[in-house]
Amino acid sequence: MKFTFLKIFLTLSLFFLSFFAKKAQAWSGYDYETKTEIDIGQGNLVREGNLVEFYDSKDDNFHSAKINFMQSSAGGVEINVLDLDTKKERNFIMY
């Protein structure tokens, strides 16, 4: 009985971990000021002070940015960055 429960538990755990791991590969959001979708790809550690690379769908380019600050909001996470390519501050809402 205990062995069967353990096998089922481990199988379900692996299934859920693999399902949610796919969603952790990229982080999608929106820049309401420029009205564009933003994607922060896999391999970017999104923390204050770090440099990240993001994709801006409006100009179809990747940009480098320094994260100034982050805070939770009702719709997700608000991120304020300095876009190092355009030298402008931008605000993203990430989901």
Chunked into runs of 10 residues, the chain (95 residues) has average pLDDT values of 70 67 73 96 94 97 98 91 98 95
Among 57, 95, 64, which Cα is nearest to 81's? Answer: 64
Segments making up each domain of the chain, as ranges:
25-94
d(CA 8, CA 17): 14
Whether the CB-CB separation of 27 and 39 falls below 8 Å is answered with yes
Question: Residue 9 has what pLDDT?
Answer: 74
Burial classification of residue 12, based on how many CB atoms lie within 10 Å of its CB (0-12 exposed, 13-18 middle, 19 or more buried)? exposed
Whether the CB-CB separation of 49 and 66 falls below 8 Å is answered with yes
